[in-house]
Amino acid sequence: MSEMLVTKDTLNEMMYKATTRAACIIPRDCRQAIENGERREETEVSKGPLSFFLEACDAGERGRTLCPDTGWQIFWIKMGENVRIENGVSNIQEAAKQAVARATGEGYLRPHLVHPLTMKNPLNNVGVHAPAVYIQFDPAIDYMEIVSVCKGGGGELFGGVQRNLAEADGKKGIIKFVLDCFMHTSYSGKTCPPGVIGIGIGGTTATSAQLALEAACLRTIGNRHPDKDIAELEDELLTEFNKLGIGPMGMGGKTSALDVHIEYALTHFAGISVSFNTFCCVIRRATARLDLSGHIEYGDAPSWNYR
């Protein structure tokens, strides 16, 4: 496989453009799901949030941020073994910080990330573990893909819950936890429903939380897990969530979730860590893929299949 050198400038450009695109341009799968939801809703109050949301998507096309709350910036970077980074791989971290600071300065991101105890605000969303950068190497690919996500506060703060179960609680325990989380977190529209629910099952607490986050952020609406049992559970939970009547922004209605994505990891035979995560209805993700020819393709569907 021929080597590919990614220059500092290319890296910076990919990260910055993916981030501004994430903040402004709604992914096609999300827009489609929202449009379907709007058609399905019957009352003015349940249609309202979805109609306004579609207006915001149009404004986004003109370079306006989809939602004021641009949340936490997260980058997932996937690259083949052939990818070399100018001045070394650790430059990815620095490029991410620069991209976020620039996008914040230009008004694409709200400067609201603060020190958790002192509330001190650097006003550029950059600091300790901010932005988050996750890097994966995949020997099967010969390109580099950067996924930029703005993870809004509502979905993350109100829609993130974790619990460790005993193996004896089994599938019933897992499903009960997920159902209760959904009820609790979507009450009064705290998580900005209808969103995408990510569920992580198994692994350490960190693994299960990460899987739930990735399930919510990286898989497109309609995508199903390759494991048939898991895929069936995804369908079943989506149907059941939408029967509850919570509706857009919790105002009542038929569209309470856009999709359910589940990821699992092998777990200890004594217990199961279960994590619940929510991406609010304003799904903000964008991709930048650099191929061997040096061409950068910007899009919204991560090629996330590394399990």
Partner 1 sequence: MEIKRLRIPLSENDVRTLRIGDLVTFSGLLFTGTEVFHKRAFEQNVTPPIDFKKMNVMAHAPLSIKRGASGEWEPMQWDKFAIMVTAGSRFEPYLPRLIQQLGLRAVVSKGSMGEQTKKAMAQFGCVHLTENSRLDKPGTADTVKRVVEAYGYDEVGPFEATWVLEIEDWGPLVVDIDAHGNNLFDQIEQIAIERLNKTYAHFNIPLDFRYSMALPDSKEESYYSR
Binding site for partner 1 (CB under 8 A): 44-45, 48-49, 51-53, 55-56, 59-60, 62, 64-69, 107-108, 110-112, 119, 121, 123, 153-154, 157-158, 163-166, 168-169, 172-173, 175-177, 179-180, 183-184, 187-190, 192, 240, 243-247, 249-252, 271, 282
User: CB-wise, 22 or 249, nearer to partner 1?
Assistant: 249
The minimum distance between CB 223 and partner 1, in angstroms, equals 23
The minimum distance between CB 153 and partner 1, in angstroms, equals 8
Question: For residue 35, what are the contacts with CB-CB under 8 A and spacing of at least 6?
Answer: 54
Residues in the chain: 307
The minimum distance between CB 13 and partner 1, in angstroms, equals 22
Token digits of residue 245 = 């009547």
The minimum distance between CB 123 and partner 1, in angstroms, equals 8
User: CB-wise, 128 or 270, nearer to partner 1?
Assistant: 270
Provide, for the chain, the percentages of residues in helix, strand and coil under a 3-state DSSP scheme, each rounded to the nearest 5.
40, 25, 35
User: CB-wise, 52 or 306, nearer to partner 1?
Assistant: 52
Q: Which residues pair with 299 in a beta bridge?
A: 287
User: CB-wise, 179 or 265, nearer to partner 1?
Assistant: 179
Secondary structure letter of residue 163 according to DSSP? E
The minimum distance between CB 215 and partner 1, in angstroms, equals 20
User: CB-wise, 62 or 228, nearer to partner 1?
Assistant: 62
The minimum distance between CB 92 and partner 1, in angstroms, equals 27
List the one residue out of 181, 137, 151, 131 whose CA is nearest residue 286. Answer: 151
User: CB-wise, 271 or 299, nearer to partner 1?
Assistant: 271
**CA 268/CA 289 separation, integer angstroms:** 37
Q: Are 240 and 178 in contact (CB under 8 A)?
A: no
| C-alpha torsion sign, points 209, 210, 215, 216 | positive
| C-beta neighbour count of 230 within 10 angstroms | 16
**CA 207/CA 202 separation, integer angstroms:** 7
